[in-house]
Amino acid sequence: MDLSIFLQQLVNGTSLGSMYALIAIGYTMVYGVLRLINFAHGDIMMVGAFVTYFVYQTSGSFTLAVLAGILASVLVGVLTDKIAYKPLRDAPKISLLITAIGISFFLENLFNVLFGGVPRAFKAPEMLTKVLHWGSIYLPVTVIIIPIVTVTILIAVLWVLYRTKYGMAIRALAFDIPTVKLMGVNADTIIALVFALGSALAAVGGVFYAVSYPSIDPLMGVIVGLKAFAAAVLGGIGSVTGAVLGGFILGFTEIMVVAVFPELGGYKDAFAFFFLILVLLFRPTGIMGEDLERSRF
Amino acid sequence: MLDIKNLQVYYGVIAAVRGIDMHVDPNTIVTLIGSNGAGKTSTLNAIVNAVKKSGQVIFDGKDISKEPTHRIVREGIALVPEGRRVFINLTVEENLRMGAFNNDANYERLRDEMYTLFPRLAGKREQKAGTLSGGEQQMLAIARALMSEPRLLMLDEPSLGLAPKIVGEVFEIITELKKRITILLIEQNAFAALKIADFGYVLENGTISLADKASNLLGNDEVRKKYLGG
């Protein structure tokens, strides 16, 4: 592989990794506070992509469409918590997990019934579909924009977590919910905030996915969601920086393996899960993880 | 200030507190003593509605029995929980900030006051609370509770697991606090608690067996035998 191809794949990997990272943050934050793998998270991303698609079609404004998509995901995420998870706060964790799987099936099938299962072409604004080229390197604008937006969002998330009192409450909640209540904090509000943040990031990830591929369907969240989950575990579930690291590692590996062994292209989805199995076998706590009983924001 | 009427706490079918009545006067220290498992912690947790309970809790004339925990705390009751429960992944200063979650305006003033009241904490502001010693964690837990400027401070076994010298320091601070707020203190170390308290309740198997002035309880033969080592 010559240098130009390597560089091109490097950028592609960063872009794909960004998408995984954005979605993985939601998995890791919800796990951090509730010890729940929110299996509906990938579908919340799908909701964001669909709403963005429809609003863009009707209004013609991409900015408005993305904002609407984010808002829709936030609503669905927060409502899911309120309706499905909140009544189970004191129930065994397995009940919560089964409920999450139920919500996932519900959202997938609801969108299937409402909009059909046929993939829809996602036409992004021209500004995002341009392809730049220097010599033999061809780069779609998106692969440059996506990492920049992701890093900006990541900095914002870390700022919220480490520089605001709400972020402080989220970190405290990850260790000790009853004591957070003793501080006069409504724990449910903080948990809702976690769902809102995670869902907003998932929506952005969903839009990136839709623009890059460029199509959407009601099951688009399944594989991407599972891979982002693998990324979160790889990075150390409960750790935000770990989730981002895991996302990038997964994105790079996937792109590079296909670039180096094109004949394995059909297996690219399998790598994420191969990684997941390796991590679970040899370092169950992930890269940034130290203790499975605690999460580390 | 605080009135408890027929308070009951059940864990499934097991009764932890079987209908107790208590009264706490403003600007006093009231202590609840009793052996392990007598229902002391359950009583405090029931007051802030952190466990399922029945009965009435009246705070400054207002029935707070049905309020959620965070609202009760906002009403002016702070609990320093058993085992201190500082946020070990947060720094000392962040722990204090959490305590003042609903008290933004007074945060900086109170924080500086706490560092004066607990000089041991002042040098460790940026240290994770998990790295503090047991005594320092207890002081941090008390400081954190004071950050909400409660009118009633409830302390659950503040001497548990601490070296005698540190226990003395903690009790000195509690006596000092009496000048400004009301305190409900739970202790296994009955002698130390009764010495600083105005009034005492003795809890046995979830019921109150004795209620009297702390000085009288200190002289009571039964109390001496059971809780003060003769």
DSSP string, B136-165: HHHHHHHHHHHTT--SEEEEE-TTTT--HH
For residue A1, what pLDDT is reported?
A: 65
Interface test with B, best of A181, A183, A193 (most B CBs within 10 A): A183
Chain A contact set for B90 (CB, 8 A): 168, 171-172
Q: What is the pLDDT of residues A113-127, one digit of tens each?
A: 999 999 999 988 888
Residue A31 vs residues A181, A216, A274, A288: alpha-carbon distances, Å = 19, 27, 22, 15
For residue A231, what pLDDT is reported?
A: 93
Q: Name the DSSP class of A21.
A: H
For residue B171, what pLDDT is reported?
A: 92
Chain A contact set for B102 (CB, 8 A): 184-185
* CA–CA separation, A28 and A76 (whole Å): 18
* CA–CA separation, B47 and A20 (whole Å): 46
For residue A98, what pLDDT is reported?
A: 96
Average pLDDT over residues B194-220: 92
* CA–CA separation, A155 and A44 (whole Å): 22
Average pLDDT over residues A256-262: 85
Residue A75 vs residues A47, A133, A201: alpha-carbon distances, Å = 10, 40, 13
What torsion, rounded to 10 degrees, do the Cα atoms B209, B214, B215, B220 define? 20
For residue A262, what pLDDT is reported?
A: 84
* CA–CA separation, A22 and A5 (whole Å): 26
Question: Percentage of chain B surpassing pLDDT 70?
Answer: 99
Among candidates B68, B70, B98 on the partner chain, residue whose Cβ is nearest the Cβ of A168: B98
> In the structure, what pLDDT confidence band is assigned to residue B230 with cuts at 50, 70 and 90?
low
- Asked casually if ipTM beats, i.e. exceeds, 0.90, the reply is yes
| Average pLDDT of chain B to the nearest whole number | 93
For residue B133, what pLDDT is reported?
A: 92
Domains of chain B: 1-76+175-230 (3.40.50.300), 80-149 (no CATH)
Interface test with B, best of A166, A182, A293 (most B CBs within 10 A): A182
Q: Measured between CB atoms, does A166 come within 8 Å of chain B?
A: no
Question: Percentage of chain A surpassing pLDDT 90?
Answer: 66
Among candidates A172, A179, A185 on the partner chain, residue whose Cβ is nearest the Cβ of B81: A179
* Distance of residue B81 Cα from the nearest chain A Cα, in angstroms: 8
For residue A210, what pLDDT is reported?
A: 93
Q: Measured between CB atoms, does B99 come within 8 Å of chain A?
A: yes
CA angle at B17 for the pair B16 and B22, rounded to the nearest 5°:
155
Find the residue in B nearest to A185 (Cα). B70
Average pLDDT over residues A176-190: 96
Question: Tokens at residue A9, please?
Answer: 């794949």
The torsion angles phi and psi of A2, rounded to 5 degrees, stand at -80, 170
Q: Among A76, A12, A41, A98, which residue's Cα sits nearest to residue A237?
A: A41
User: What is the per-residue DSSP string for B50-96?
Assistant: -S-EEEEEEETTEE-TTS-HHHHHHHTEEEE-TT----TTSBHHHHH
What torsion, rounded to 10 degrees, do the Cα atoms A49, A50, A53, A57 define? -160
Range in A37-41, A291-295, B152-156, B222-226 the model is least confident about: A291-295
Q: Measured between CB atoms, does A163 come within 8 Å of chain B?
A: no
* CA–CA separation, A218 and A235 (whole Å): 28
Average pLDDT over residues A141-169: 92
> In the structure, what pLDDT confidence band is assigned to residue A295 with cuts at 50, 70 and 90?
very low
For residue B219, what pLDDT is reported?
A: 87
Q: Is the pTM of this model over 0.95?
A: no
Whether residue A290 has pLDDT greater than 70: no
Q: What is the pLDDT of residues B5-29, one digit of tens each?
A: 999 999 988 889 999 999 999 999 9
